[in-house]
Chains A and B, each alone.
Chain A
Amino acid sequence: MSITQIMFFFLSALAVFSAIMVLVSRNPVHSVLWLIAVFFAISGHYILLNAQFLAIVNLIVYAGAIMVLFLFVIMLMNLNKESEPNKHIWMKLAGAISGGCFLMVMVSLVRQAADFQGKEALVGTGDIGLIKNLGKALFSNYVVPFEISSVLFLSAMVGAVVIGKKE
């Protein structure tokens, strides 16, 4: 078993465990922290896949900016105590079962799908994930969506300000 494989399984286990912990934590702050752990694991995966730019952006945007925003809001509302009332047990069970069914069905689908048999994801090599290549593509083929996304950001910002403003 090579080092990449060991890393893959380690990161996968970490991601899944952390994700589960996000769910089961009673305290929202803990959930946020576990989610950051998930993001770190995913960034690790990106690095394994040699997608360095995305790995860094993931850390900066998600684990950094977004999760800090979450934490900030939680702190603002003082939700760090266990204030969440329990959902009905049957609803919980139904949610868990249907989510499990979804997983099961999709896994069985993937297992039997001929398209994925024997396909490999290139690990460790390949340079499309490098900033240089991504930047080239982004500012040539994808320049219009890129500019539009800036407009999206602007509108989201305005929206957030309008919504969050006190009347």
Chain B
Amino acid sequence: MPIQYYIYLSLALFSIGIIGVLTRRNAIIVFMCIELMLNAVNLLLVAFSKMHHGTALATDAATTAGIDGQLFVFFIMVVAAAEVSVGLAIIVMMYRNIHSVDINFLNRLKN
């Protein structure tokens, strides 16, 4: 598979994530869009890892080149899980306080 295809796919998913963040007001949906963007990156990392591995295989049959990319994905998932747990806790607290998950109410930064 040409690597560009994976890149295009990842870019498409990433951009959809961006558009989601920009256009939705529901904090949970925004959060989900961020997860989508993370996954787009994950996919790209795996694709690059395989690309790298493929080129390395041509010279050395026993190489493990490219495994770093997949481990990165693993760590990203770890971080994402932690992030989601904290983020959802924040959203819950916010809902408890203002009875809404509309991010437009979260404009305290202005002051």
Contact = CB atoms under 8 A, between A and B. Distances in A.
> Is A in direct contact with B (CB under 8 Å) within the complex?
yes
Interface of A: 4-5, 8, 12, 15-16, 19-20, 22-23, 28, 31-32, 35, 38-39, 42, 45-46, 48-51, 53-54, 57-58, 61-62, 65-66, 69-70, 73-74, 76-77, 79, 84-87, 91-92, 94-96, 98-100, 102-103, 106-107, 110-111, 116, 118-123, 126, 128-129, 133-134, 137-138, 142, 145, 149, 152-153, 155-157, 159-161, 163-164, 166
Contact of A73 (B7, B16, B91): B91
B11 A121 contact: no
B54 A94 contact: no
A122 B75 contact: no
Given A23-B16, A103-B11, A62 B85 contact: no
B11 A128 contact: no
Interface of B: 1-9, 11-13, 15-26, 28-29, 31-33, 35-36, 39, 42-43, 46-51, 53-55, 57, 64-68, 70-71, 73-75, 77-86, 88-93, 95-96, 101-102, 104
A77 B66 CA distance: 43
A31 B22 CA distance: 16
B82 A156 contact: yes
Given A22-B29, A149-B75, 15 more contacts: A8-B5, A15-B9, A16-B13, A31-B32, A46-B46, A53-B74, A58-B77, A69-B84, A77-B92, A106-B11, A119-B51, A120-B1, A134-B71, A153-B81, A160-B85
A14 to B, nearest CB: 11
7 contacts: A31-B29, A95-B22, A100-B19, A120-B51, A121-B3, A137-B64, A166-B96
Nearest to B38: A62
Contacts of B4: 110-111, 116, 119
Given A111-B4, A116-B7, A152-B78, A70 B24 contact: no
* Main DSSP-derived SS at the A contact region: helix
